[in-house]
Amino acid sequence: MIRLATVQFTPRLGEREANLEAIQKLLDPVEAEVVILPELCTSGYFFVTREVLAPLAEAPGGVACVFFQRLAEAKRAIIVAGMPEVADGLFYNSVFVFRPGVPEPLIYRKAHLFYKERFVFEPGDTAFPVIRDERLDLSIGIMLCYDWRFPEVSRVLALDGAELIACPSNLVTDAWRKVMPARAIENKVYVAVANRCGTETRCGETLLFKGCSAVYDSYGEPVALAGADGDRVLLAEIDPRPCRDKRFNEFNDIFADRRPELYGAICRKR
């Protein structure tokens, strides 16, 4: 069994050092082998200009990257954290994955930009990554918040071997609570949603983040749930081995039964 920590956290907008301090306090007492933090957990979310975002965006080796790499080494844990990234003068809404003994983080750049993110971030240009960790005997797929709306994302991750899909999030709707269990069922994987809570206001507009972080098993059943408010760490024991067998009776296998030759024809017609 693998101990999973899914963190619900309320970052302060534009206050990286304060956010890192708060994350440290939340995680100090936690013993886990995989830790998943929300989207943009080091910076806050609601940016409307690149000028405000720029001082908080990171490349590998930045302040938050050093912090999380040290945390990964100290806890011997995989740390999955959403942060703003800068690369070649462009900004991305990204997930950084830090692993003990691996000096460079893996980076996923958000493919599907939500609402006003398009005014400050570039659409992601990375593939959807699956991280294989032999020490834990676990494969982790990464998607980011609004990616949940696109079933292709979780399917691609599962086809590439993911047994746990980590979804750092800043969710402001409720529809995902119906759909995330379906993403788990249709791919027979665990899904962990690390959502933030609280509010942020820019230019007279306020966003309310819905919390309710959750871990769902491969049958779509919740194994850990948070409330709508308050910072907390959800702890869950997960066993990835059953996720490798995609059968659900003696005749049906959800991957072997696929008919991609027909799906392709439909896509070409439309």
pLDDT in tens, 176-208: 999 999 999 999 999 999 999 999 999 999 999
Question: Residue 179 in contact with residue 148, Cβ under 8 Å?
Answer: yes
User: Please, which pLDDT band fits residue 268 given cuts at 50, 70 and 90?
Assistant: low
Residue 238 pLDDT more than 70? yes
What range defines the domain where residue 133 resides?
2-269
The per-residue pLDDT for 190 is 98
Tell me whether residue 270 is exposed, middle or buried, using C-beta atoms within 10 angstroms of its C-beta: 0 to 12, 13 to 18, 19 or more: exposed
Residue 270 pLDDT more than 80? no
Question: Residue 246 in contact with residue 218, Cβ under 8 Å?
Answer: no
Residue 269 pLDDT more than 70? no
Q: For the CA atoms of the chain, what is the radius of gyration?
A: 18
**Maximum alpha-carbon separation in the chain:** 58
For residues 61-88, average pLDDT: 98
Q: Which of 79-83, 91-95, 184-188, 262-266 has the lowest mean pLDDT?
A: 262-266
Measured distance CA(72)–CA(101) in Å, rounded: 9
Among the options 110, 117, 197, 210, which is catalytic? 110
151 in helix, strand or coil? helix
Measured distance CA(67)–CA(72) in Å, rounded: 9
pLDDT tens-digit profile of 117-141?
Answer: 999 999 999 999 999 999 999 999 9
For residues 21-37, average pLDDT: 98
Q: Which of 240, 243, 234 is nearest to 4 (CA)?
A: 234
Cα distance between the two ends of the chain: 44
Q: How many domains does the chain have?
A: 1
The per-residue pLDDT for 263 is 87
Among the options 41, 65, 145, 197, which is catalytic? 145
Q: Which of 114, 115, 116, 96 is nearest to 106 (CA)?
A: 96
264 Cβ neighbours under 8 A, 6+ residues apart? none
Active site residue 145: yes
Residue 264 pLDDT more than 90? no
Active site residue 246: no
Summary mean pLDDT of the chain = 96
82 in helix, strand or coil? strand
The per-residue pLDDT for 267 is 58
Active site residue 203: no
DSSP H or E segment with residue 236: strand 232-238
Q: What are phi and psi of 117, to 5 degrees?
A: -55, -30
The per-residue pLDDT for 266 is 58
Q: What are phi and psi of 67, to 5 degrees?
A: -60, -50
Domain of 108, CATH number, reads 3.60.110.10
For residues 225-234, average pLDDT: 97
For residues 159-184, average pLDDT: 97
The per-residue pLDDT for 265 is 64
Measured distance CA(168)–CA(36) in Å, rounded: 7
The per-residue pLDDT for 100 is 97
Residue 26 pLDDT more than 90? yes
